[in-house]
Amino acid sequence: MIPVTWYLVLSIILFCIGMYGFLTRRNVIIMFLCIELMLNAANLNFVAFSHYLTDMRGQVMTFFIIAVAAAEAAIGLGIVVALYRNRRTVYSDEINELRG
Amino acid sequence: MLSKFIFLYCALMIVTTGILAVRFRNPVHSVLAVLVLFFHMAGLYLLLNAEFLAAIQIIVYAGAILVLYLFVLFLVNIKEEIKTERFVANHNISKVIVFLVFMMLIPLLQTFHLGEPGKWTMDAIRQVTHTKALGMEIFTTYILPFEIIALILLVAVIGGILLARQEKQEGIMAQKESSGSLTKGGQK
């Protein structure tokens, strides 16, 4: 049997990779992609707990998180499209004015 | 023993493709690396006896969300993207922050212990099949969150359409731009 801590370590590593990408990349689209990585780390934790506690609740939560991730992708990419239309850039460090 | 090998393979692939997705110069390559990552995540879900979630992972994440990302990536000029700098100017601070978070989270694992087991043992799930067991939980205990998530998706669809719509203000924008009141970002 695989110990549950293996899944937790993998989840921590994946979360840190996503956080690293979110903090360092300039491209807003890749930053959103890194948010998906972090959400996946949370999902992996939930499913691992659900399996090792013989309970269904974690998997229900994962189901909801996937739905929220889909909503977040639609809204976030809509914002990117609107941003590109107004400012002609997708780089986070070039968007440095509050005045639209 | 075999399950350990499968886990280690999936974990190795997830970490490698995750790092590659962050490091790749070409954003399309990044999205494809994340696609491979999602498939291996589905493999891990299968290892954890969550076959419905594995299917959802492939259909929704790999099939729908990543295709959406690829469509939006058409905004980026790939030829210029390959030449420009990938990372923000002071990304060494971010590296230190991420390393600190990692070093903080790893020792926390030692204080962790599992709680009370629930009623859905492996045999109970096998009797009613996994999808039905998940459906019974969602549509009885978690019916209110399910309705809320439906509302969130509806709001997201409407919001996405509103945000990405070609507005009539575009003409006004063009006038503003020509009169010079709208400064372009990044060209100063």
User: How many C-beta atoms lie closer than 10 Å to residue B54's C-beta?
Assistant: 21
Q: Which residue of B has its CA nearest to A90?
A: B76
- Answer whether residue B128 shows pLDDT above 90: no
Do A60 and B138 lie within an 8 Å CB cutoff?
A: yes
In the predicted structure, residue B131 carries a pLDDT above the cut 70: yes
- Residue B180: per-residue pLDDT: 55
Q: What is the ipTM of this complex?
A: 0.92
Do B164 and A81 contact (CB within 8 A), yes or no?
Answer: yes
Mean pLDDT confidence for B100-113: 90
Report the alpha-carbon distance of residue A49 to residue A31 in Å, rounded: 28
What is the Cα Rg of chain A in Å?
17
Shortest alpha-carbon distance between residue A24 and chain B (Å):
5
- B183 CB neighbours in chain A (<8 A) are 97
Percent residues over pLDDT 90 in chain B: 49
In this prediction the pTM is 0.87
The predicted pLDDT at position A64 comes to 94
Q: How many CB atoms lie within 10 A of CB B46?
A: 16
For chain B, percent of residues with pLDDT exceeding 70:
88
Residues 48-87 of A with CB under 8 A from B: 48-57, 59-60, 62-64, 66-75, 77-82, 84-87
* A42-68 confidence digits (pLDDT tens): 999 999 999 999 888 899 999 999 999
Q: B159: which chain A residues are within 8 Å (Cβ-Cβ)? A: 74-75, 78
CA dihedral (B54, B57, B63, B67) positive or negative: negative
Dihedral pair phi/psi, residue B87, rounded to 5°: -105, 160
Answer yes or no: is pLDDT of A16 > 90: yes
Tokens coding A8 = 């937790």
Residue A3 to residue A7: CA distance in whole angstroms:
8
| pLDDT confidence bin for B170, thresholds 50/70/90 | low
C-alpha pair distances (Å), A2 with each of A34, B65, B130, B188: 27, 30, 21, 56
Quote the pLDDT of residue B9.
Answer: 95
Q: Is the CB of residue A45 less than 8 Å away from at least one CB of chain B?
A: no
pLDDT: is A33 or A2 the higher one?
A33
Shortest Cα–Cα distance, B78 to chain A (Å): 12
Average pLDDT of the segment spanning B6-23 = 94
Chain B interface mutation, best of A46, A53, A60, highest count of B Cβ atoms under 10 Å: A60
List, in sequence order, the alpha helices (H) in chain A.
4-24, 28-52, 57-87
Cβ-Cβ pairs closer than 8 A, A with B, add up to 234
Query: A27: helix, coil or strand?
Result: strand
Q: What tokens were used for B176?
A: 């503003």
Q: Give the minimum alpha-carbon distance from B179 to chain A in angstroms, rounded to a whole number.
A: 15
Share of chain A above pLDDT 70, in %: 98
What pLDDT is attached to residue B88?
Answer: 84
Residue B22 has pLDDT above 70, yes or no: yes
How distant, in Å, are the alpha carbons of A37, A95, B35, B172, B173 from that of B179?
43, 21, 45, 11, 10
State residue A61's pLDDT score: 93
